[in-house]
Structure 1
Amino acid sequence: MATAPQLATTAREEKGKGSARRARAAGQVPAVLYGHGTDPKHLLLPNRELAAILRANGVNAVVELDIAGDKQLALTKQVDVHPIRNYIEHVDLLIVKRGEKVNVEVGIVIEGVAASGTLTIQDASVVEVEAEALHIPENIVVDVHNLAAGTNITAADLLLPAGVELVTDGEALIVSIEAAKNAAETAGTDDAADEAAEEAAE
């Protein structure tokens, strides 16, 4: 993303849960903008436009805020979503500068099918990377096509886009390929578990 989507904001004058509920009912999302030694600014963002930006760019979206005519680049550092109703409750925004590098967590996406008779185990869902603010990858793909049982993929094995550096420990396990138990082995394990349970009950 070489350019950032623009988002108009208004200052949030009122504080508290009641004002936050009224803002959300009016289609606005309470937000806090901070960073670079500045005092935090309490803002209101248009919910529909913000949701569209997050859908298109992921949770590490960089936006250009219009704050009373002043333009400011900001990274969506934290997005709080209601666990049941699935609407955006609050957003934390971090001030960034063009060319500045930031540390963010990026999701892992598994593609492909490992060798027959194996199970693909995803041991980590995200890794932390350092990337230029306007070039944060939306996700990092791990291709497991035809990988054999016993294969382990660590953070150091990940193929990162140019300019992106790994922050997570390189030895951290990301994906492992394990041999799948066949039906006979599974049945034998289940039978042993049943016998143990019966003995314990006696």
Structure 2
Amino acid sequence: MDQLVLEAEPRTIKGKQVNQLRRQGLVPAVVYGKATAPIPVQVPRRPLELVLSKAGESTLISLRVADRAEPLTVLVRDQQRDALTQVITHVDFYAVVMTETIRVRIPLVLEGEPPVLQKFQGVLLQQKEEVEVECLPKDLVPHIAVDVSTLQTFDDSIYVKDLVLPAGIQVLDDPEELVATVSPVAEEVVEAEAAPAEPGEVEVIKKGKKEEEQAEAEE
């Protein structure tokens, strides 16, 4: 995927006055990093929403600030939204240094079909949604694929140690942590309804009762 590009302008309005920007369709943001002092910026809402819909925490963005000669390579570190409308209200961008490793969380995406589900009824369960990794910015990927075709039986599982990682990426999470497994579906046991008595059987019961009553009367 091509690197995402976003245009921004320096921001002079701060504090509660930033609501003026929001009414104009602009979103206040800040850029910071290990080698970058905090830079207040403002970004048009619609282009920002489009980029955020494509960018995860591990997606590099080329941020072009109007008063800077070179674009900044950034990651989305935090975003705030209105609790009711879910409209974006603020964004934090982290400026990376391309020659230094960073730590980010990368989503795990299950791919394929477990062979066990072709023979038996069951449910594929994803126990872990993402992993924390360390790598150079150039080695970042949008997600890590998890091949579930290795789940041949209900006893098979996929752990962090089983992940096939792209070059240059090191996972920091516990290697024994469970990622995915298949759980069997319990079959419902339907109790058979008691069959109604046959007419002959009912008659025998009634007849037997009459005979008992007659015997008691004769005594």
TM-score, normalisation: structure 2: 0.73
Q: CA deviation at 1:70?
A: 3.2
Q: Do structure 1's residue 104 and structure 2's residue 109 form an aligned pair?
A: no
2:23 equivalent in structure 1: 25
2:39 equivalent in structure 1: 41
CA RMSD of aligned residues (A): 2.4
8 Å contact kept, 1:110–1:143: yes
- Matched AA of 1:175: A
1:197 equivalent in structure 2: none
Q: How does 1:46-57 map to 2 (within 5 A)?
A: 46-57=44-55
8 Å contact kept, 1:4–1:134: no
Gaps of 5+ in 1: 189-202
Q: Write the deviation string for residues 107-126 of structure 1: whole angstroms up to 9, x where unpaired.
A: 12122333222222211111
Which structure shows the bigger proportion of residues in strand conformation?
A: 1
State the alpha-carbon separation in 2 of the partners of residues 7 and 175 from structure 1: 36
Gaps of 5+ in 2: 192-219
8 Å contact kept, 1:59–1:79: no
- Matched AA of 1:133: P
Query: Share of identical aligned residues, percent?
Result: 28
Change (3 A) 1:112 1:4: closer
SS of 2:161's equivalent? helix
State the alpha-carbon separation in 2 of the partners of residues 61 and 47 from structure 1: 19
TM-score, normalisation: structure 1: 0.78
Q: Write the deviation string for residues 41-94 of structure 1: whole angstroms up to 9, x where unpaired.
A: 221122222222233343433222223133222111122333442322221111
Q: Which has the larger radius of gyration?
A: 2
State the alpha-carbon separation in 1 of the partners of residues 76 and 85 from structure 2: 21
Q: Do structure 1's residue 143 and structure 2's residue 147 form an aligned pair?
A: yes
